[in-house]
Amino acid sequence: MQKILLWSLAGVVSLLLMVNLVLGLGTRGSINKIQAVQAQVANGPQMEMVLRNLSIRIAMAGEKDPAFKDLLKKHELNVKLEEGK
């Protein structure tokens, strides 16, 4: 009787260890996804500045080549250049 109880407890512990392993691997995957999204969010302000500078340069080039103006319109980027430049 004690051997049956011992083997039953060993089986339950083994099952719990496997469940813990599976949950740990799932958690690791979720953490990696969260960190990737956090990195994108953290880079947001920097990318916004890059996009703003790029759109200004495209708008300046659009004064000579209408294809650049069409590119800005296509992506719905409204850029107003200063008259002094």
Rounded CA-CA distance 12/15 in Å is 5
The pLDDT score that the predictor gives to residue 83 is: 61
**What confidence tier does 11 reach under pLDDT thresholds 50, 70, 90?**
very high
Q: For 50-79, how does the pLDDT look when each residue is reduced to its tens digit (9 = 90+)?
A: 988 888 888 888 888 888 888 888 888 777
pTM value is 0.49
Domain-wise residue ranges, the chain: 1-42, 43-85
DSSP per-residue codes, 37-81: HHHHHHTHHHHHHHHHHHHHHHHHHHTT-HHHHHHHHHTT-----
